[in-house]
Every structure is written in C-alpha cells, then in structure tokens.
Amino acid sequence: MGSSTKGRTVVEVGADGVAIITIINPPVNSLSLDVLYSLKESYELALRRDDVKAIVVTGAKGKFSGGFDITAFGGLQGGKTAALKPGFVSVEILTDTLEGARKPSVAAIDGLALGGGLEVAMSCHARISTSNAQLGLPELQLGVIPGFGGTQRLPRLVGLSKALEMMLTSKPVKGDEAYSLGLVDAIVSPDELVNTARRWALDILERKRPWVASLCKTDKIEPLGEAREILKFARAQARKQAPNLKHPLVCIDVVEEGIVSGPRAGLWKEAEAFQGLLHSDTCKSLVHIFFAQRGTSKVPGITDLGLVPRRINKVAILGGGLMGSGIATALILSNYPVILKEVNEKFLQAGIGRVRANLQSRVKKGKMTQEKFEKTMSLLKGALEYESFRDVDMVIEAVIENVSLKQQIFADLEKYCPPHCILASNTSTIDLNLIGQKTKSNDRIVGAHFFSPAHVMPLLEIVRTQKTSPQVIVDLLDVGKKIKKTPVVVGNCTGFAVNRMFFPYTQAALLLVERGADVYQIDRAITKFGMPMGPFRLCDLVGFGVAIATGTQFVQNFPERTYKSMLIPIMQEDNRAGETTRKGFYVYDDKRKANADPEIKKFIQKARDISGVTVDPKLMKLSDKDIVEMIFFPVVNEACRVFSEGIAVKAADLDIAAVMGMGFPPYRGGIMFWADSLGSKYIHSRLEAWSNMYGGFFKPCAYLAERAAKGAPLVRTLKLFLLHHIFGKLMVNR
Ligand SMILES: C[C@H](O)CC(=O)SCCNC(=O)CCNC(=O)[C@H](O)C(C)(C)COP(=O)(O)OP(=O)(O)OC[C@H]1O[C@@H](n2cnc3c(N)ncnc32)[C@H](O)[C@@H]1OP(=O)(O)O
C-alpha cells in the first residue's frame, strides 16, 4: 500500500480459476476512493486474465465492509477532495463493471456489510454470508441516502416494504434474517465462507445456479398500484417521525423513480440526490455526531498512557431504587455478576422486583427468551450486609442525594471492599470530593452517573476528580463499553456536564412564563425544534420533588445566574407534583395523555406576585424562533462555561452529552456544533440584550464574550485548546 493511499484490494487467483478480490482497509474495510479505484482495477484484471473463470469478493479479517469511507465526507463537503462524477461508482463501477461482467461473481460476507459494503455485495451475482454478519443500509443515520445503487437493488432483493424499513430505520439485519429475506443465498460458517463462495461462483458459470443481476430482478417488486400505496404510507410515517428531516423523503422519491421509470433512471436520480445531500447541514451534523461519539472514549492524558483495563469480575450496587435497579439490570444484561445491597428485606425485595420487571418487559417484547431471563436473573444476588463485598472489584452507590449518608457509606466501603476496588457514586449533583471526605481512597473514587432508566439510556457520565487515578477511568470506560453505554469523561463540579448544561433549560422557561409567555407554546416550539419534550412536560415527567432538589443545588452554587422562580414549589404545595400525581403543568388522563390545564394561570400569577415581575407584552407574542433561542442560548452559555473550565476536554463531548443526556436533536450536531452554526457573535448579542432587559440569568460568560469579540467559533481545535491550557498553567506557575 502506498504511503499516501488509503486502503486497497488484492487479487489472488486459485488453481480452480476463481479470483478472490479482498478489500483491505482497517479497521472496518471502508470504501475509500482508493479502495473503490482499486476494486475497479482488480475486477478489470480478473476479467482480462484468461485463467480467471469467476470472481469472489470478500473483506480482510472477517469484515466484508463498513461502507463508504465516512472520513472522506469532510473532504468532499469542503471541496478538498474533487467531487466524483455522479454515477461514477454506482453506474460505472458497480453496475457496468461488477454486475455487468461477463464472469460471475459472488460476495463472501462475514462480520459486516453496511452501506456501500452491502451495495458492492448486492452488485455481485450471489451472496454467501455467515449467520452473525450484519447487513444493512444505514446511510440515513448520516443524513444521506444509499448512493451506490442500494435504493434500487435492495427493494428488488427483499421487496419494497422491507427495503424501506431497513433504509428508513438504518437498522441492519443479521445473516440468518438476510437469508430468509432473500438478500443472501446461503448461510455458512466463517471457515467455509470463501470456499463455498468460490464453488458457488463456478456453479453459476456452469449454469448449475442462477446468474442473477439484482438490478434486473422484478419478482419481489409489488405491482405499481400496491407499490404506490406502500410509498405513500412510508412518506406519511417519515413526515410524522422526523418532521424536520428531508432526506428520508428524498430516499423514498428515489426508490419510487426506480419503480416508475426503471432502475437505470433510479440509479441516476440516486446519484444526484446523494451529491446534494452530502452538502446538507443535516449530513454535516450527523457525521460530526458519528465521530464525536467514537471520540468520547479517547481522553487525552488518560487513554493515551498505555494502561490496560483491569478485569471486573463482580460489581456491588448500593440502593435498589429506580437508579440502582436500572444499573443492576444494565450490568447483568452484559453478564456481570451483581450484588444488590439494601437496608432491609422489604427494600431489597422491591429492588430485585424492579430488576425482574425490567427484564420481564424484554421477554414480553420478544427481545429475550425465558431461558435467558432465568440465566440473567441468576447473576443477581441480594445482600443486607457488607460481608459479601470482600471480593468485589467495583461498587456503584445509588442511594438518595444526601451528603452525610454518602460520606458514611464511602467510609464503610473503604473498610469492607478490597483495596483495588473502584468506589463509584451515581450522584447527579454532589461534589465527589465531599463524598470521599471521610476516606483515604480518593484515587479510586469516581462518578458513574447514569441516566434514568439506566438500562435504557445510552449515556454514562464518568466524573473524575483531580485525585481519581487514570487506571480507574480506563477501567470504567471499559465497563461502559461492555454495557453498551457511550461514556463521556468530565470533571467534578455541581451538576457535572449534563445537568449543569441542562439547568438553564427549565430556568429560562420559568422566566419566560412569569413574564407572560405561554407554557404550552413554549413546549410546542421546543418539540418542533426537535427535543423529545418541552421543559414543562419534562418537569412533569421528572417530578417536582426532583426538580426542586436539583434546582436548589444550582441556586446554592451559582446564585448569580439562577432564576429563582417559586412557580414549581407553589404548584407542589397544591398537591401537583407532576405526572405521578396526574397533575403538574399538564393534567393526565387514565392513559397518561398530557392535556393543557387552564388552571395553571392562577399559579403563574401567584409566582409572578412573589417574584415581583410584570408581564412583558413582547414576551407574550414570541415567535417559535425567539422561544428556541431564549431557551437554548442560556444552555449554550452554560456549555461554554463547562468547556472553558475544562469540565469537558472536548467541545464534541458536550455535543454527545447534549444529544444522549438531554435529547438534543442529533441532526443539529449537538449543542456546541449547533451554536457555531449560528455564530458566537449572534448568540452573544442576543444574550447581552436579554441580560440588559431581564437580568443576570442571560449574562454571557467571559468565554462566549471573548469568542464573539474575535468573531471566532466557540469550538477551538483540540490542539489550540490544549496549548492554551498548558500555556495558561505555565503562566500561572511562574
Ligand atoms: C455511498 C454509500 O451508500 C454511503 C455509505 O456507505 S455511508 C457509510 C455507511 N456505513 C455506516 O454508516 C457504518 C458506520 N459504522 C458503524 O456503524 C460502526 O462503526 C460499525 C458497525 C461498522 C463498527 O462498530 P464498532 O465495532 O462498534 O466500532 P466503531 O468504534 O464504531 O468503529 C471502529 C472504527 O472504524 C471507524 N469506522 C467505522 N465505519 C466507518 C466508515 N464507514 N468509514 C470510516 N471509518 C469508519 C470508526 O470511526 C472507528 O474509528 P476509530 O477507531 O478511529 O474511532
């Protein structure tokens, strides 16, 4: 491989006359431009050589291909890489060279065939797969559509409904399902894969098996009238599920073109649409999220030290409440033996019952067999004493947010757990230094902040103090990966990254309502923007008790920028505490459907009287855009503080924290990415103006002011940021 090339294919011709073309581009054999050119050359070579009778395409090291090289998107978008002629890959290489070849070819698929990878495989004349291989077209999760013929070939192989489902959900299918769908022609073990494929290719040549060009198949495509109905339904679903996204609709249009005007016309429409979507903001945002998510487990100064994660054989959890039982569920689901400790038998049984219910719901949904359920449950043991903690490697404390209780627990843990044991707390707000104050074990104390429900939500905030050892972080990152969480490593402060960024979200909403804005218009505007729910609906869901407890932490720690509204406490006094009491900002019917409640006007008036604020006519007729900005710019402001204080090392980590912890729409790229799309100057000027009108809550922080003054983006490159930090420290130390 030349030093400047990225990946290649190699050709090896066997004595049986079958040329094996292997894609080599670690780690996932992605299809870089170099790989694609090389694939074309390898095919041309195999077609030219008289000793080659048939062809097998496969991927090195048990992975067929993870699809088009996503790292190349940036270059194509920024014009640094010359744009490919539309149709160059889908028509010239895959259709004319591979599918149109006068020698048969078979794809031998192990590991994964995703996106462009599956599109290459579908251009071969047959596909052999292993049962565990993953096959899919997940391009829509990146804001584009399949661009190498997938929109045309997949419907012809598996039928329109299934193809649309696979593309619109981006969910791959396993080899076995692919076989039953007709996407692959046989399932074999990895050892037999290439040999079966080469035999299959020769059988095609000898007309013992059919020579199928997927693009010409018609048997799986529904008659036109029926197809139109399916497409209509898919469009309605896409509009409902993702009203802010255009590319799912483009995908459906492109599929339709192939059905109405023929696959060749479909290929051209696909090629043009792909080029257009590649340059969309949605694609740029989603590609950013793709890499940001993978970047969270790369922590400078921690994961680059060459430390190897230690084996965690057994975990203990303190507290079987909602959080503790959720964490226990997540751990046993990934085969960790768990001890769940409670203070008495009644609480213990309730905790174990919650874990059981979590697993049973998977059985009910058909996601788990009864046998697996029993096996998983057997990993959980209950305890009332610390005796069984003598051989645990990690403890996660998940008791109520009470500092002295936690201090006592950590002092006890130090006595009973082995000296190597990681002592983690699931606190969402309390300073970890305070929690560990009565111990000498601060190097192994760490925050493991899960989000509720812990066995479902994908984020794990790993909180390090200045004393937490890098080994402990590396260990916890590994556990996080094994239980399928996306970890974000952050520094220690009130609320850490997610809750700290999130607190202005509700605060801004309360401020606006007290000054005349409408509760329900705010929630509508925010959900239209793409949040799963608005701030008031969220308060109802979380419950007013929790909202008041966390709010108090922020009032105490950041008094200068906390908006002190009495609205929630006043409502709570009147026995409205959110969804659990069936009354909060909304009223809830038997089916838990939220309905607006005109009664809340009286509570708002009361809160207004206490704060002494008056209604501002301007805030009574805010546009949706104004609402989004007044709610989210304070969030951006806090994110800037979190970033500039070094609580998050990378701005991209905050993007992931916002998407996975707050439900910020990924297609807007996360909080900092979105802010930069609007510009620091604009955000600063808006905050400054509101700060003059409505007080310190909106005051832009120093970092935001500095970036705006320079007209610079909020996100500095990591290199510059680290230089700044190191240089700053040197200056302080002088
Ligand atoms: C024209 C075409 O139709 C357009 C396309 O093909 S677009 C691409 C479609 N393909 C995809 O969307 C697949 C994206 N990749 C994935 O879903 C997952 O990475 C995977 C299932 C392939 C592997 O998952 P997993 O084993 O958990 O490893 P994961 O950490 O995600 O990836 C391993 C590395 O491969 C990289 N990678 C994965 N897919 C890649 C791709 N298609 N291009 C470039 N790099 C890729 C990741 O960035 C990561 O790099 P890092 O180690 O430097 O962080």
pLDDT digits (tens, 9 = 90+) for 10-56: 999 999 999 999 999 999 999 999 999 999 999 999 999 999 999 99
Q: Residue 4 has what pLDDT? A: 67
Q: Are 34 and 24 in contact (CB under 8 A)?
A: no
Distance from residue 439's CA to the centre of ligand 1 (Å): 43
User: Is residue 184 classed as helix, strand or coil in its secondary structure?
Assistant: coil
Q: Residue 300: pLDDT above 90?
A: yes
DSSP state of 99: I
Percent of the chain predicted with pLDDT > 90: 90
Q: Residue 303 has what pLDDT? A: 96
DSSP state of 518: -
Distances in Å between the Cα of 504 and the Cα atoms of 557, 594, 635 are 14, 24, 6
Indicate if 256 belongs to the active site. no
- Which ligand 1 atom lies nearest to the CA of residue 67? 6
Q: Residue 733: pLDDT above 80?
A: no
CA angle 317, 321, 323 (to 5 degrees): 70
Distance from residue 517's CA to the centre of ligand 1 (Å): 44
Tokens, residue 400: 């109520």
Distance from residue 67's CA to the centre of ligand 1 (Å): 7
Q: Residue 734 has what pLDDT? A: 31
Interatomic CA distance for residues 428 and 523, integer angstroms? 25
| Residue ID of nearest Cα to ligand 1 atom 5 | 68
Better pLDDT: 428 or 471: 471
Which of 28, 140, 294 has the most ligand 1 atoms within 8 A of CB, as the residue to mutate? 28
Ligand 1 site, residue 324, Cβ cutoff 6 A = no
Tokens, residue 722: 């680290």
Tens of pLDDT along 529-539?
999 999 999 99
Query: Is omega for the bond preceding 155 within 30 degrees of 0, making it cis?
Result: no
Distances in Å between the Cα of 74 and the Cα atoms of 3, 595, 730 are 21, 45, 35
Distance from residue 538's CA to the centre of ligand 1 (Å): 33
Q: Residue 491 has what pLDDT? A: 95
Place of tokens 């949605």: 282
Please compute the mean of the pLDDT values over residues 619-645 and round it to a whole number.
Answer: 97
Interatomic CA distance for residues 33 and 589, integer angstroms? 56
Tens of pLDDT along 76-107?
777 777 777 888 999 999 999 999 999 999 99
Interatomic CA distance for residues 252 and 241, integer angstroms? 14
| Residue ID of nearest Cα to ligand 1 atom 22 | 66
Q: From the candidates 139, 342, 414, 461, give the one annotated as an active-site residue.
A: 139
Of 107, 121, 135, nearest to 201 (Cα)?
107
Query: Is omega for the bond preceding 559 within 30 degrees of 0, making it cis?
Result: no
User: Which are the contacts of 240, defined by CB distance < 8 A and separation ≥ 6?
Assistant: none
Distances in Å between the Cα of 694 and the Cα atoms of 7, 569, 575, 630, 719 are 57, 22, 30, 11, 38
Ligand 1 site, residue 23, Cβ cutoff 6 A = no
Q: Are 33 and 45 in contact (CB under 8 A)?
A: no
CA dihedral sign of residues 501, 502, 507, 512: positive
Backbone angles phi, psi at 56, to 5 degrees: -120, 135
Interatomic CA distance for residues 654 and 651, integer angstroms? 5
Q: Residue 732 has what pLDDT? A: 35
Query: Which of these ranges, 82-86, 97-101, 299-303, 547-551, has the smallest mean pLDDT?
Result: 82-86
Please compute the mean of the pLDDT values over residues 631-636 and round it to a whole number.
Answer: 98
Place of tokens 């710019």: 633
The domains found in the chain, sorted by start residue, are 8-220 (3.90.226.10), 315-490 (3.40.50.720), 499-722 (1.10.1040.50)
Q: Residue 729 has what pLDDT? A: 39
Q: Residue 520: pLDDT above 70?
A: yes
Confidence band (pLDDT; 50, 70, 90) for 329? Answer: very high
- Which ligand 1 atom lies nearest to the CA of residue 170? 12
What is the SS3 string spanning 325-388?
A: HHHHHHHHHCCCCEEEECCCHHHHHHHHHHHHHHHHHHHHCCCCCHHHHHHHHCCEEEECCCHH
Q: Residue 76 has what pLDDT? A: 79
Ligand 1 site, residue 86, Cβ cutoff 6 A = no
Distance from residue 71's CA to the centre of ligand 1 (Å): 9
Please compute the mean of the pLDDT values over residues 406-411 and round it to a whole number.
Answer: 96
CA dihedral sign of residues 282, 288, 291, 292: negative
| Residue ID of nearest Cα to ligand 1 atom 1 | 147
Interatomic CA distance for residues 154 and 214, integer angstroms? 8
Tens of pLDDT along 678-703?
999 999 999 999 999 999 999 999 99
636 residue type, one letter:
V
Better pLDDT: 414 or 83: 414
For 256, how many CA atoms within 13 A lie in the half-sphere containing its CB?
Answer: 17
Q: Residue 717 has what pLDDT? A: 64
Place of tokens 């698929």: 109
Tokens, residue 712: 């610079």
Backbone angles phi, psi at 657, to 5 degrees: -60, -40
Interatomic CA distance for residues 636 and 682, integer angstroms? 12
DSSP state of 648: B
Ligand 1 site, residue 270, Cβ cutoff 6 A = no
Q: From the candidates 99, 119, 256, 270, give the one annotated as an active-site residue.
A: 119
Interatomic CA distance for residues 618 and 601, integer angstroms? 18
- Which ligand 1 atom lies nearest to the CA of residue 138? 12
345 residue type, one letter:
E
Distances in Å between the Cα of 666 and the Cα atoms of 139, 302, 661 are 15, 27, 11
- Give the number of other Cβ atoms within 10 Å of residue 456's Cβ: 12
Ligand 1 site, residue 36, Cβ cutoff 6 A = no
26 CB burial (10 A radius; 0-12, 13-18, 19+): exposed
Confidence band (pLDDT; 50, 70, 90) for 546? Answer: confident
Indicate if 119 belongs to the active site. yes
User: Which are the contacts of 653, defined by CB distance < 8 A and separation ≥ 6?
Assistant: 292, 295, 296, 488, 489, 490, 497
Q: Residue 596: pLDDT above 50?
A: yes
Q: Are 154 and 146 in contact (CB under 8 A)?
A: yes
Mean pLDDT of the chain: 94
Distances in Å between the Cα of 138 and the Cα atoms of 27, 67, 69, 108, 724 are 18, 9, 13, 20, 39
Which of 23, 24, 36, 70 has the most ligand 1 atoms within 8 A of CB, as the residue to mutate? 70
Distance from residue 497's CA to the centre of ligand 1 (Å): 27
Of 283, 3, 28, 13, nearest to 133 (Cα)?
28
CA dihedral sign of residues 338, 344, 345, 349: negative
What is this structure's pTM? 0.93
Q: Residue 726 has what pLDDT? A: 42
| Residue ID of nearest Cα to ligand 1 atom 51 | 294
Ligand 1 site, residue 70, Cβ cutoff 6 A = yes
Q: How far is CA 198 from the centre of its chain?
A: 39
Q: Residue 728: pLDDT above 50?
A: no
User: Is residue 460 classed as helix, strand or coil in its secondary structure?
Assistant: strand
Please compute the mean of the pLDDT values over residues 387-401 and round it to a whole number.
Answer: 95
Q: Residue 731: pLDDT above 70?
A: no
Query: Which of these ranges, 469-478, 543-552, 673-682, has the smallest mean pLDDT?
Result: 543-552
User: Is residue 397 classed as helix, strand or coil in its secondary structure?
Assistant: strand
Q: Residue 234: pLDDT above 90?
A: yes
